[in-house]
Amino acid sequence: MTMASDSYALQLDEMIQLFQEYKSGSVTLDNITKLCQTLGLESFIDDIDAETSRLSTASKIIVIDIDFSKSIGRVKDVKLVLASNFDNFNYFNEPVVQANNDSNSNEGSNILLNSLTQYPDLHQFHHNLKFLYLLDTFSSINIDANNNGGPNNDGGGGEFSGELDLFKYFTELAQFLRQYFADQGAPLKVVTNLNNRFGIYIMTQLDRVLLAKITFEKSRDSQQRLYEYVYYEGNKEWINESPESFTSGVSMVMEISDKTNPTWFPKDYVPKELVLDEGDSNDKINDVSPNEFMNSLSMNASRGKFQVMNDFTTQLVPLRKFDISNDNSELIIEILRWIQWSRTVLYPIYKTLNAPEDEATKGDAGKEGTVTANGPQGRHGSVAAEHRKRRHSSKNKRSSMTEATMLKEEGLQQFNLQELMTDQDTDLNQGSEKASTGLLGVDKMQVDDQAIDDSDTTCQLVFSEDRVSLENVAQCTLYDDMAKWDSFIEAFKTYSI
Amino acid sequence: MLQNEGLRQVHDMLVPHDDQSTQPSEFVPHLFYSLYQIRKDPSNSNQLETSTGFIKHRLKNCKSLIATNEDCRNLLSKSVEEWQQDIRNKEKELEVKRKMLDDLGKRLQVFKERK
């Protein structure tokens, strides 16, 4: 077993994987056998009769029977059996017709069979087989103690105390999530397996837009434990079923499905150690990255019909994948909330403001914009519950922004904002916030009034990561419900025309 | 499918046929499977040589066939896209020539009428 840590073996593994990804081969019995064996599954071919060959491929828990027709040279049927107590594993697509329970007519179709009949090569099958093999490898079940996995299991010891059947957990997870979303009042639909791929898919209830996928993945740290967190309806919370039952080396992950644009998050929305796949910071939406755009907006810039007040207290980073294992499952709803908030509210505003126009405001903006973006970073720790505090801290911040705007409007633009902020230290403690507000003797209403006075055609838009407001017409925050977001955007659109 | 005899032979040598019983496997799946076997049994490192021998052999045959076959060499000297471009160019040339002939014909007609 020390072999696995050997760099020679690792390089071979990498080559094998590259070849597999490059060309998994056409759908022949020979190629399927090779693929299975290369993954580490024991495979045998039996001639059932003159017409059918059966390839049986198996690991610790899974047994897959693939029936191949000799005459037509195609796969006829695939069955998956688990050698564990649990044999209700769902390897079917979610039934296509929803809200209609006459099960026979619209039962979902067999993913494994589809992967071998609907595609020109074995790529899809390979992908699905890897998922099954992962669940197999990292399930801790006492069936056969001496068989602890193939090349993936480089943890060494592999001493499991309790049991965690990932096949069972995966199957039950969808129901937990449904209940969880229902209790949270989140209008989300949970679907097990989609488009012939394993996974738990989360989409919007109404227009079925895919938001994210939950699946399992080998963790970076092979010692990392996964406990069986289940959702209890009674307490309305995720609870560790049993502290003795865990498995090591695998994580539950949530991946954002971003066919259109990468999703940008406030830098500390999710604790750093839970971010598995950071997108490319250079990814752009409409040719400008959100951060560049924020920096280009001065404190109080005019964009089209709007007098924009840039109230962002943090930088945005594109994130794609998160570790939601164990008690991090509480993050699921927060992340989904953000995805929807950014798609429903932030992007449309961003797009409108960023529509090609004169670049007049770009000049002196850089300096101040950077201060906005960097100022509050020190406050944000990487604690799991940070996002709850964050809202509070950005409120503190807001008043300091307001006063900066005031200074500008009173003709004090020459004031270096960096000095101003470090001097007064507004964003570090609440006490000084009070003092400085008192010092300037203004409150928000006055700002709004003044903005209206400035011009009768423009409308003041305060734009920040978790709160937007349109003069005294409309406003909404990340924590409002979606109906309020929608009505805000409607109001915003009316003004932007 | 392939009309050129040489290319058809090359194709037959490299791509497996439908009747799997007689034909050895596809190259890439065979390669990763062979690598996997070495991975499993590192002591036998000659294995790759033996197990992928047939790939080498067939590539060699292909090479010598192409080397001796003028048609093959010529056809394989351009990529599909390059051939498409080539065809477009030839069509343009033909168009120009046709137009020239047309013009000549018209001028001849004029001369005839003058006489």
Q: Which residue of B has its CA nearest to A74?
A: B18
Q: Do A12 and B38 touch (CB under 8 A)?
A: yes
* Whether pLDDT at B71 is above 50: yes
**Does A57 contact B at CB distance below 8 Å?**
no
Quick one: B73 and B85 in the same domain? no
The backbone region for A281, taken as left when phi is positive above 0, alpha when psi lies in -120 to 50, beta otherwise, is alpha
User: Are B8 and B64 in a shared domain?
Assistant: yes
Give chain B's length. 115
Give me the pLDDT at residue B110, please: 94
CA distance A126 to A25: 10
> What is the predicted pLDDT for the residue at A98?
46
CB contact under 8 A, B29 and A15: no
Residue B1 and residue B49 in one domain: yes
Using CA atoms, how far residue A308 sits from A239, A286, A444, in Å, is 44, 19, 15
pLDDT, residue A62, reads: 94
B9 and B33 co-located in one domain: yes
* Residues in B touching A42 (Cβ below 8 Å): none
Query: What pLDDT digit, counting tens, does each position of B36-48 carry?
Result: 988 888 777 677 7
pLDDT at res. A134: 95
Give chain A's residues under pLDDT 50: 1, 3-4, 97-107, 144-160, 358-417, 419-420, 423-455
Examine the domain organization and report whether B97 and B112 are in the same domain: yes
Taking residue A77's Cβ as centre, other Cβ atoms within 10 Å add up to 16
The residues on B that touch A, with CB distances below 8 Å, are 18, 20, 25-26, 28-33, 35-36, 38-39, 42
Sole residue written with tokens 């949270």: A184
CB A225 within 8 A of CB A167: no
User: B40 and B62 share a domain?
Assistant: yes
Percent of chain B topping pLDDT 70: 91
Q: Sketch the domain layout of chain A as residue ranges.
A: 22-96+108-137
Whether residues B61 and B97 fall in one domain: no
Residue A30 to residue B20, Cβ atoms within 8 A: yes
Indicate if B85 and B62 belong to the same structural domain.
no
Q: What's the gap in Å between the CA of A38 and the closest CA on chain B?
A: 6
- Total structural domains within chain B: 2
User: In 3D, which of A367, A482, A477, A358 has the Cα closest to residue A416?
Assistant: A367
**What residues make up the domain containing B84?**
79-115
Spatial distance between the Cα atoms of A249 and A91, rounded to a whole number of angstroms: 23
Chain B residue with minimal CA distance to A10?
B39
Q: Which residues of A touch B18 (CB under 8 A)?
A: 73
Q: How far apart are CA B103 and CA B90, in angstroms?
A: 20
How far off is chain A from B28, nearest CA to CA, in Å?
6
Q: Are residues B72 and B101 in the same domain?
A: no
**Is residue B52 domain-shared with residue B105, that is, in the same domain?**
no
What tens digit of pLDDT does each residue of A423-459 get?
444 444 444 444 444 444 444 444 444 444 444 567 8
Same domain (yes/no): B64, B25: yes
Distance CA A58, CA A63 (A): 4
Residue of A nearest to B42 (CA): A9
At residue A222, the pLDDT reads 86
The mean pLDDT of B15-38, rounded to a whole number, is 76
- pLDDT for the residue A356: 63
Which of A 209-268 lie inside 8 A of B, CB atoms? Answer: none
